[in-house]
Structure 1
Amino acid sequence: MSAGPALVWTIVLTFVFLECAVILGLFLPGDSMLITAGIVMASHASGEKHVWALSLGAMVAAIAGNQVGYAIGHRTGHHLVARKGGKYINVQNLQRVAELLHRHGFVAVLIARWIPWVRTLCPTVAGAARMDHTRFTVASTIGAIVWAPVLLLAGYYAGGFLQRVPWLMPLVIGILVAGLIIGTILGIRHYRQEMSQPAEDFTVETTPAAALHQES
């Protein structure tokens, strides 16, 4: 594997895992990163082989990240830490995710894959709410299959069209990569600002299915 694809692999797997596992991932450019990675792969001679393999790897990273997020939430004992004045990690957003899981459960986990900030918060809230782990895992796996590979392949095949115009491909890749670098730097800065806000406790109610299981 050349240095180019190797670097793409490292960035994609790291970003996907973080975005699905921990709060830091909420501030990383996940969707645009996957599309950009697909376009970059299209510029390599062996890109098709790599992009399909990377799609599988990203899917596994997304599933693993969700499992870590769920485990973190499960260990909190129904109590999550929000941030007063936070833009994303606030009581209102945690409440929205909790209500989404409470009302729709399985379907909510599927939908969460396509909403950036919900995608990161959902596993942790699901774990804290004691959502049935098997149902969560199945929904998480299905969601991973139709999220990361779809965006990577969309970028790859879009890159195939860009290659028809010799000067356009390098320009588009340069703009997208620059955007990702700037977005990541700003995201880390926003994360630090968010975490510097005063902490605020948020209690997650047990999901109906989990409550039924406890009663039985």
Structure 2
Amino acid sequence: MDAVLQSLAEFIARHAGWAGLVLGVITLLESLVLIGAFIPATALLVMAGGLIAAGLLDPFQVIFWCVMGAVVGDAISFELGRRLGPRALRHPIFAGHRRKVARTRLFNRRYGAASIFIGRFFGPLRAFVPLVAGLLQMRRRTFQLANALSALIWVLAILAPGYFAARGLAELEALGEAHWTTIAAITIAGLIVVGLVCREILRRRARAMAEAISLAERRS
């Protein structure tokens, strides 16, 4: 996988004209149920953000194609869910994903259209949320509106770290070596704080999800 990721990154860096389309296809594949976990779209988008900051890629082209890829990928999974219906969850293909599917069903029932937004940023469930939304017969108009808006926000959020990291490095070089120690200390302290906050959020989310699943199992 690392070799494939490196090859794709090199291709994107060398062929700026094709970068947007290639990233769009990769984003589409990552949004598809089951196979999405094997596609390194997030890592490539972070890298693309850095290339945009360096002036090597057209930001509008990259954003357009990536948003389109994310929208189409989720739409395919959603329509597949609507066509298959709830009975499809008993299919052997989902045998190894029972827990994820159960979490996603609770997720969809609890948050409705908001689950499309939240699920887009929640890695373990991202590829299953549109499929389950289709299985639960969510209205197409509701889903597609949430799908398009969340795709735009997701793409910008994933591109941002690479973009600002590259801009920050360029600015640090301009400041000179005298400021490196102070900047490094502030950066490390900030990362520690962010890490602690993220860990606490993830712990609370995991605990709430586990309690919800346990309650659902007891009721069934």
TM-score between the two structures when normalised by the length of structure 2: 0.64
Matches within 5 A, 1:69-148: 69-78=77-86, 79-80=88-89, 81=91, 82-84=93-95, 86=96, 90-148=97-155
Q: CA separation in 2, counterparts of 1:110 and 1:35? A: 20
5+ long unaligned stretches in structure 1: 167-216
Q: Which has the higher contact order (CA 8 A, sep 6+)?
A: 1
How far did 1:153 drift? 3.5
Residue type of the alignment partner of 2:59: V
Decide whether aligned partners of structure 1 residues 22 and 92 sit closer, same or farther in structure 2, where only a CA change above 3 A counts: closer
More strand by share: 1
Residue type of the alignment partner of 1:119: R
Decide whether aligned partners of structure 1 residues 37 and 159 sit closer, same or farther in structure 2, where only a CA change above 3 A counts: same
Matches within 5 A, 1:1-216: 3-45=14-56, 47=57, 50-78=58-86, 79-80=88-89, 81=91, 82-84=93-95, 86=96, 90-164=97-171, 165=173
Secondary structure of the 2:138 match is coil
How far did 1:120 drift? 0.8
RMSD: 2.4
Residue type of the alignment partner of 2:82: H
In the alignment of these two chains, the number of paired residues is: 159
More helix by share: 2
Residue type of the alignment partner of 1:121: F
Sequence identity percentage: 23
TM-score between the two structures when normalised by the length of structure 1: 0.65
Q: Please tell me whether the aligned partners of residues 5 and 41 of structure 1 are also in contact (alpha carbons under 8 angstroms).
A: no
5+ long unaligned stretches in structure 2: 1-11, 175-220
Name which one, 1 or 2, has greater alpha-carbon Rg.
Answer: 2
Secondary structure of the 1:131 match is coil
